[in-house]
Amino acid sequence: MNTYIQFAAIKFRNNMAYRFEYLMGILNTVLNFLVYWCIYKALYGGADEIDGITFSMVTTNFIISLGLTNAFSKNEMFLHDKIKQGTIANELLKPVNFKFRMLFEDLGDGFFKVIFNFIPAVIIALFFTHIEPPAGILSFSLCLISAVLGYIVLWEISFIVQTWAFWLFSIWGIVTIKNVIINIFSGVLLPLWFMPEPVMNIIKFTPLDSIFFTPVQLYLGELQGYEIIFNFSKQLLWIAVLYIIGEFFWSRGIKKLVVQGG
Amino acid sequence: MKDIFSLFFAYAKSGLKTRFQYKLDSVVATLAVFLREAAGIIAMYFALLKFDTINNWNINELMFLFSLIFITYGIFIVFFMALRDFSDWIKHGDIDRVMLRPRGILTQLVLCGADWLAALGHGTLGIVLFILSANNVGVEWNAETILYYIVSIASGVLIQGAVFLFFSAISIYFIETQSLKEIMYWNLRKFAGYPISIYNKFIQSLLIFVVPFAFVNYFPAQFLLRKPDMAAYPEWFMYISPFVGIILYALAYLFWKFSMRFYKSTGN
């Protein structure tokens, strides 16, 4: 375990080296939030609430999803680059689990982004906007747990797409398209309360609302008793399903790689 | 002049050949750029099903506003890619190579390379948005409006070209200007897609006076659409986009010419 934490720590320290980069990161985060804040302020046009959703709930949705986007930052070309440069062969010889190592490097990046981009950005945002406090200590703890599960869901999706690098010339296009789908349909660009009913009915059968929207709903105390259990089970179910799919592609890919290397 | 055209086509041919060497990959990558840029407007489409309008702009008018940004960028990137990436050219010493050739430096830079992937991705999106919205925004397309539209597109390309010519000149002194471009161009561009009247005075001023994106899409669109939020700005703003483009480009060109005298090679 210690080995993997070291991978995360190295990534974290690497980020520390680029001080100007992280100032830019804060500015980027604030501006990204500001655009959507202005848009929704204009959309609300002074109204207190639309369909029972207040403007400060929308603001909170954007802040939380932006925070999670920061935390969930990952190097999605990692496996691709290792395969294309051929260094994957050496990586596999190392006595570490390759997948875990990828995960922990991403965690290191994520921790860095949350501490140095997201938290300062929230502090700046608080000067011009009102953010809802969590509905309670229990809601907040549940939100954190489901955010971790959401992270794993998102990471597994990313891992599956990355393994396609074993077969494809470049996965940049597919990674980008995957991120567009996630950004639109999981609540980063549009709070899912405003998603049209027919689209939402489809989203319910995908892992998309398990990533950002479940933590947001828990934070705001929108889910009660049975719903909480249902949403957590859904997240766990998707983690299991996506894990199996990921392992399937990974083992096939590795086999193919061995053949090529021979 | 004929020489310039043949130079452009020779470069374009080799550029396209390199880029589309891997056909399937290029198609997927172009689609990816298209979707990445369309994401914001798709989200707005869903939002406006609930909210109807944003500052009295409906979805068609908003798509029309967005189309100007994407069409101008699609054309811009065919001619100005080398200026977008100018700091890399300096870093890698590629400018020295350009200087040795028997044509003007800027001529070569403008003609030499197009980011065809971005041009197709952004350009197609712009055209799609235009086709979807042009007949649903109450604009009567006659000789006058068509001419105005074409001039606006040209002005928009020139304005963005001028902005990048400024950045290139600055990179002669500082070499690394990635962050400057990130804040002053890419971040402001995120704001520029929407009606600028939704922002506070500070962001509006940036978009009108500093990096004048407002003259790329907002004011030209206002001339054609006449939305009530135009009342907050002087009427003549709708007529000056070409002048903003020409003056800005001329200033940028002079600054660039002046700066090139201080160019020092970074070595090999």
Q: What is the pLDDT of residue A258?
A: 65
Mean pLDDT of A116-141: 87
Question: pLDDT tens across B118-166, in order?
Answer: 888 999 999 999 999 998 888 889 999 999 999 999 999 999 999 988 8
Q: Do B24 and A27 touch (CB under 8 A)?
A: no
Q: Is the pLDDT of residue B56 over 80?
A: yes
d(Cα B222, Cα B218) in Å, to the nearest integer?
Answer: 6
Q: Do B43 and A189 touch (CB under 8 A)?
A: yes
Q: Is the pLDDT of residue A108 over 90?
A: no
Mean pLDDT of A213-236: 92
Q: What is the pLDDT of residue A262?
A: 43
DSSP assignment of chain A: -HHHHHHHHHHHHHHHT-HHHHHHHHHHHHHHHHHHHHHHHHHHTT-SEETTEEHHHHHHHHHHHHHHHHHT---TTHHHHHHHHTTHHHHHHSSS-HHHHHHHHHHHHHHHHIIIIIHHHHHHHHHH---PPPS-HHHHHHHHHHHHHHHHHHHHHHHHHHHGGGTSS--HHHHHHHHHHHHHHTTSSS-GGGS-HHHHHHHTTSGGGGTTHHHHHHHTT---HHHHHHHHHHHHHHHHHHHHHHHHHHHHHHHHHHHHH-
**Which residues in chain B have their CB less than 8 angstroms from residue A27's CB?**
183, 187
Whether B217 contacts B157, CB under 8 Å: no
pTM above 0.90, yes or no: no
How far from A3 is each of A8, A91, B28, B128, B245, CA to CA, in Å? 9, 15, 38, 51, 57
Q: Is the pLDDT of residue A260 over 60?
A: no
What number of other Cβ atoms are within 10 A of residue B8's Cβ? 17
Q: What is the pLDDT of residue B188?
A: 87
Nearest CA to A178 out of B26, B47, B28 is that of: B28
The chain-wide mean pLDDT, for chain A, equals 87
Best of B24, B25, B180, B194 to disrupt the A interface (most A CBs within 10 Å) is B25
Report ipTM (2 d.p.). 0.87
Q: Do B198 and A170 touch (CB under 8 A)?
A: no
Whether A57 contacts A132, CB under 8 Å: yes
Nearest CA to B75 out of B28, B32, B126, B41 is that of: B126
For chain B, say whether A228 makes contact (Cβ under 8 Å). no
For chain B, say whether A190 makes contact (Cβ under 8 Å). yes
User: CA angle at residue A244 from A240 to A250, to 5 degrees?
Assistant: 140
Q: Do A43 and B179 touch (CB under 8 A)?
A: no
Q: What single-letter amino acid sits at A116?
A: F
Q: What is the pLDDT of residue A132?
A: 86
A75 burial class (0-12, 13-18, 19+ CB within 10 angstroms)? middle
Best of A27, A35, A50 to disrupt the B interface (most B CBs within 10 Å) is A35
Nearest to B54 among A42, A183, A194 (CB): A42
Q: Do B50 and A194 touch (CB under 8 A)?
A: yes
Q: Which domain holds residue A144?
A: 2-261
For chain B, say whether A164 makes contact (Cβ under 8 Å). no
Find the closest chain A residue to B40 by CA distance: A189
d(Cα A189, Cα A194) in Å, to the nearest integer?
Answer: 11
Residue predicted with more confidence, B163 or A9: B163
Q: What is the pLDDT of residue B9?
A: 77
Q: What single-letter amino acid sits at B155?
A: S
Our CA-based measurement puts residue B121 at a distance from the nearest CA of chain A, in whole angstroms, of 12
Four-point Cα dihedral A95, A97, A98, A102, nearest 10: -120
Split at pLDDT 50, 70, 90, the class of A185 is very high
Q: Do A39 and B54 touch (CB under 8 A)?
A: yes
Split at pLDDT 50, 70, 90, the class of A192 is very high
Residue A49, beta-bridge partner list:
A54
Mean pLDDT of B49-72: 93
d(Cα B145, Cα B123) in Å, to the nearest integer?
Answer: 21
Our CA-based measurement puts residue A5 at a distance from the nearest CA of chain B, in whole angstroms, of 31
Q: What single-letter amino acid sits at B69?
A: I
What tokens does A261 get? 């290397």
Q: For residue A161, what are the contacts with CB-CB under 8 A and spacing of at least 6?
A: A76, A171, A174, A175, A178
Instruction: Give whichever of A8-12, B12-16, B176-180, B199-203 has the largest mean pLDDT.
Output: B199-203
What tokens does A208 get? 């998309």
What tokens does B218 get? 């907002």
Q: Do A168 and B33 touch (CB under 8 A)?
A: no
H/E stretch holding B38: helix B23-51
Find the closest chain A residue to B42 by CA distance: A184
**Number of structural domains found in chain A:** 1
Split at pLDDT 50, 70, 90, the class of A93 is confident
Q: For residue A63, what are the contacts with CB-CB under 8 A and spacing of at least 6?
A: A33, A122, A125, A131
Q: For residue B231, what are the contacts with CB-CB under 8 A and spacing of at least 6?
A: none
Question: pLDDT tens across A143-178, in order?
Answer: 999 999 999 999 999 999 999 998 888 889 999 999
Residue predicted with more confidence, B126 or B84: B126
Q: Do B43 and A184 touch (CB under 8 A)?
A: yes
User: CA angle at residue B87 from B86 to B92, to 5 degrees?
Assistant: 100
